[in-house]
Structure 1
Amino acid sequence: MPLALRIAQLVSSRQRRGAEVFASDLSEALAALGHEVSFAGLAAPPVEPLAPEVTNVDLTSGPLASMSLEIVRSTARHIRETRPDVIQANGGAVMKYVALAQAWGRTRVPVVYCNIGLSSDWVRHRAQRAWTGWLLRRADVTAAVSAASRDDLLRQYGLDPAVVRVVRRGVDVGARVRADEGRRALTEAGVPSGSFVVLHVGSFSEEKNHAGLIRIVERVRAESDRDVRLVLVGGGPLYEAVERSAPAHVHILGIREDVPALMAGADVLLLPSRTEGIPGVVLEAAAQGIPTVAYDVGGVSEAVRDGETGAVIEAGDEAAASGAVLRLIREPMTLAEWGEAARAFVRDEYSLDASVHAFLDLYREITR
């Protein structure tokens, strides 16, 4: 058996968001294989933080600032004290602090940067590109979340293609929550029994487009005789604003630990995001046999097979998105077929086991 590795998984905060949830799942799977894993958040955790069954630590007690000497020092101290064989920096903000911490602490631990989206959606100015390019070159290898993300990185920064790899996020397609258990979870959360449930799981932030999400469902309700309900799960900076303005058919549940059950009880996942990498929520819903209707941004078309496991819609086309949801209401056989196909697709193409071994291969390559 290969020697065990000491792996430092770093996330912006131990919050229940896509990249952090995957890093948590990956950490537990690596630990189960005998590796020594620490799971560290750079900033203060939420009230109910992620806590995988590995060593958990929060490096600071404040928010994640765009630049903080305290976070640089704390990250440098964490690297020095844990003496990892490899660091995985999950997201651009984390990569920034890892690069600065290694410079501050004069350490040189190999780094895997796990890219989680399209850099071009956030980095638009020449100075930003130069700074981001410098940071990216501090990583020994970049694990791009999708082919679209890899192409974007190569185009933006002229990186060596040999060190930018596509490593798919994996999900555990194990025991499936029964639909009746899922419906019970929704009913207990106040969603009327017998309604057609459109689900959205994600941060209440600008890029998730909650205003568009609500408009799409209002279109669906206007053209359907079913009681269509929109269920929103998550937290974030726009939570209170959305909560204040949401109509009665929108159920806002906040941050939940029973997301798989809520997915199993829903009918369709709706994701009209303005930007995405590979949306983990699509894979998680598929694992519960739930199809997705999503805008074609980032790597969405790599996670949803249009007309087979869901519908991929031109970004911004609310009429087409509502039409896709209406089709699934009117064609229950299509709804069921897409859901089963989605589960089979993630089982075959996005398994957690394959993702774990892909990351292990990267770790071993850069620590030889």
Structure 2
Amino acid sequence: MSGKPSPTVLQVVPELDTGGAEASAIEMVEAVTRTGGRCLVASQGGRLEETLARAGGELCPLPLATKNPVRMAANIAALRGLIRARGVDLVHARSRAPAWSALAAARLAGVPFVTTYHGAYNQKSRAKSFYNSVMARGDVVIANSRYTADLLMRRHGTQPEQVRVIYRGVDVERFAPDAVSPERVAALRAAWGVAPETRIVLQVARLTRWKGQDIVIAAAARVLKQADMGDVAVVLAGDAQGRHEYERQLRELIAANGLDGRIKLVGHVSDVPAACRAAEIVVVASREAEAFGRASAEAQAAEKPVIVAERGALPETLVPMRCSGDEGTGWLVAPDDPDALAACLENALRLPPETLARIGARGRAHVTARFTTQAMQSATLDVYDTLLGSRLAETFRDETSSNPLQPCEHVSKDTPAFT
């Protein structure tokens, strides 16, 4: 252990565009810098380079998105040289292809190696299992949910004492109701063509079949056709990212149900806090397992009740409603089941506004207690301290003492995990 009061940490990500791994890397740059340490990011760069600089980090450009074995071998040498030249004390990798180079470089340089298992990676062959296994080879492996922790231990035989569950962080201040002006909400409604008095059911997810937009449309068709349901619109916010055939199928499904104008495909929405504030209820209808469930956590941070599919880590993001009078923050429904979603959505829309408001307030309190960005930063610094003998987390908590933080959650054989 170095025991240095201000160690240097190297974050390794393939690119610096949008994504959970990139966002978390930059959040850790900000945390390390705040403690007086130094944080470098090895990446081929991208749209978040200015954000990285503002957080106090330094970009070290390398072609780390490559899966070419020759270039990956060259990246090992480049990363090893960077570690030695810049006095790097710890390497933290967040994506599979660059993690192989980072693992070899860290071992050759003799510095600790940390990984974050960010996704429920596809694993349908032995070759893919081996490729994924690099994310379970850290001295400490961070899982972004209990579901992910259980998955990686079953897949790769990782020992429980090697794993830490650290949930993805949510910027709760950005989603606070008083941080979103009525003008921002009104502007979004106008852009969507939704009247001020119309209640909105919202889904925020890129347009891909596994996110379940077609399930939401099928469920909404059952609900919106009821004469006594009132003025309700369903907004599906998300970029097709080139999946034009799927987008065409969704539009055809909407038209076939006679719901043009009531179910809206609005494309990418950059102001997600305003989108959540505009909504009455937020739906997360994923067909496949989510490794965390950021959309659910962000909606609750905006004081909105959620309806989420009971799959993957999504159940970990809310306190489930069991009956109308309990203290939950949203509802769990069977995945890939339009009838179940329709029944839940109908019941939720029939609740009085004051009941929905109470559910939303409980949701924000729940997220603030468990899923803040500062909690994620503090818990990750605890991992670094364990490996380095440093006191980064203590310094960070002193700096942010006005905000309560959730400690890192350790996995043990006696602690149940979602399967």
Please report how far the alpha carbon of residue 293 of structure 1 lies from its aligned counterpart in structure 2 after TM superposition.
1.1
Partner of 2:285: 272
SS in 2 for 1:270: strand
Partner of 2:94: 90
Verify the 8 A CA contact 1:167 1:358 in the aligned structure 2: yes
SS in 1 for 2:27: helix
Q: Distance in 2 between matches of 1:158 and 1:299?
A: 20
What is the identity, as a one-letter code, of the residue corresponding to 2:6?
Answer: A
1:196 aligns with 2:199: yes
1:126 aligns with 2:126: yes
Partner of 2:400: none
Give the alignment partner of residue 34 of structure 2, picking from 32, 39, 57.
32
Q: Which has the higher contact order (CA 8 A, sep 6+)?
A: 2
1:357 aligns with 2:371: no
1:77 aligns with 2:90: no
Q: Distance in 1 between matches of 2:220 and 2:62?
A: 40
Partner of 2:114: 112
Verify the 8 A CA contact 2:115 2:141 in the aligned structure 1: yes
Q: Distance in 1 between matches of 2:355 and 2:20?
A: 28
| 1:178-211 alpha-carbon deviations (Å, 9 max, x no partner) | 4624422422422412222222333334432333
Partner of 1:330: 350
Q: Distance in 2 between matches of 1:216 and 1:66?
A: 41
Verify the 8 A CA contact 1:59 1:71 in the aligned structure 2: no
Give TM-score scaled by structure 2 length. Answer: 0.75
What is the identity, as a one-letter code, of the residue corresponding to 1:87?
Answer: V
Give TM-score scaled by structure 1 length. Answer: 0.85
What is the identity, as a one-letter code, of the residue corresponding to 2:205?
Answer: G
Verify the 8 A CA contact 1:243 1:252 in the aligned structure 2: no
Verify the 8 A CA contact 2:180 2:273 in the aligned structure 1: no
- Change in Cα spacing, 1:149 to 1:182, as seen in structure 2 (3 Å) is same
Partner of 2:221: 218
Give the alignment partner of residue 320 of structure 1, picking from 314, 335, 340.
340
Please report how far the alpha carbon of residue 141 of structure 1 lies from its aligned counterpart in structure 2 after TM superposition.
0.7
Give the alignment partner of residue 251 of structure 1, picking from 256, 261, 265.
265
1:13 aligns with 2:15: yes
Structure 2 regions of 5+ residues with no counterpart?
255-259, 322-327, 390-419
Please report how far the alpha carbon of residue 60 of structure 1 lies from its aligned counterpart in structure 2 after TM superposition.
5.4
**More deviation in 204-213 or 70-79?**
70-79
Structure 1 regions of 5+ residues with no counterpart?
none
Verify the 8 A CA contact 2:202 2:281 in the aligned structure 1: yes
Give the alignment partner of residue 285 of structure 1, picking from 299, 307, 327.
299
What is the identity, as a one-letter code, of the residue corresponding to 2:78?
Answer: R
Identity, % of aligned positions: 23
- Change in Cα spacing, 1:232 to 1:58, as seen in structure 2 (3 Å) is farther
Verify the 8 A CA contact 1:198 1:268 in the aligned structure 2: yes
Q: Distance in 2 between matches of 1:89 and 1:289?
A: 34
- Change in Cα spacing, 1:338 to 1:49, as seen in structure 2 (3 Å) is farther
Largest Rg, 1 or 2: 2
